[in-house]
Amino acid sequence: MAVKVLCDSVNPVEHRASFERAIADAIGDRAGRWDVWLSQLNTGFPLTVMIAGPDGLRVSYIFKDPEQQTAIGIRSRIAALLAIRCEDATL
């Protein structure tokens, strides 16, 4: 597994590393290359996460609620989305 995180901007900046780690944890040990883009216009604005995985898998989510914009909230939402999408891909 290779996870590459590209961060356009995340505010406050000190959250960036924990968000990147949360997403890498959510991806876990899935095989293949994973490219992740994080973007946030400014503090208090929605955080956008876009993920490109193997075999054309694409997942994106906009974290609009500030309570969701925590490492725990991001990890759990991304893990749930990937579980659904990866299961769909095997059907």
Cα separation of 36 and 24, whole Å? Answer: 9
Q: How many domains does the chain have?
A: 1
Helix 16-27 × helix 71-90 angle, to 10°: 30
**Domain interval for residue 17:** 2-90
Q: What is the pLDDT of residues 29-80, one digit of tens each?
A: 999 999 999 988 777 788 899 999 999 999 999 998 877 888 999 999 999 9
3 state DSSP class of 65? coil
pTM of the model: 0.83
> Which of the two residues, 5 and 67, has the higher pLDDT score?
5
Confidence at residue 91, expressed as pLDDT on a 0 to 100 scale: 39
The two structure tokens encoding residue 79: 């893990």
Domain with residue 20: its CATH number is 3.30.160
- Of the candidates 59, 56, 60, which has an alpha carbon nearest to the alpha carbon of residue 32? 56
Confidence at residue 1, expressed as pLDDT on a 0 to 100 scale: 59
